[in-house]
Amino acid sequence: MQTKRKFSLDKRSFVAGLLVGSLFVLALVATFAGVAAVRGATVSLDSKQLAVIVRDRIVAQAKTEIPKVIEGAKAEIPAIVEKEMRTRIVSDRMEIAGFVFRMPAEFIEQLNSKMRKNVENAAGEIMDGIDTDQLAEKFGAEAYLLVQEALQDELAGQTFRVMVFNRIPVRVNVEIK
Q: What is the pLDDT of residues 97-128, one digit of tens each?
A: 888 878 887 887 888 888 888 888 898 899 88
15-19, 32-36, 60-64, 157-161: segment of lowest average pLDDT: 32-36
The predicted model gives 45-54 an average pLDDT of: 93
pLDDT per position as a tens digit, 55-88: 999 999 999 999 999 999 888 888 888 887 776 6
Give the count of domains, the chain.
Answer: 1
Q: Is residue 116 part of a domain?
A: yes
Per-residue DSSP letter, 165:
T
How far from 88 is each of 13, 82, 92, 142, CA to CA, in Å? 105, 10, 12, 40
pLDDT at position 172 is 87
In this predicted model, which residue has the larger pLDDT, 132 or 87? 132
pLDDT at 87: 66
The residues, ordered by sequence, that sit 6+ positions from 145 with a Cβ below 8 Å of its Cβ are 51
What pLDDT shows up at residue 149? 93
Structural domain includes residue 136: yes
163 domain residue, yes or no: yes
Range of the domain at 83: 40-176
117, part of any domain: yes
For residue 161, is it within any domain?
Answer: yes
pLDDT in tens, 139-163: 999 999 999 999 999 888 888 888 8
Residue 101 inside a domain? The answer is yes
Q: Are 62 and 139 in contact (CB under 8 A)?
A: yes
C-alpha span between 140 and 144 (Å, rounded): 6
* Domain presence at residue 126: yes
Whether the pLDDT of residue 136 is over 70: the answer is yes
Residue 1 pLDDT more than 70? no
Give the C-alpha separation, 112 to 97, whole Å: 24
Is 95 contained in some domain? yes
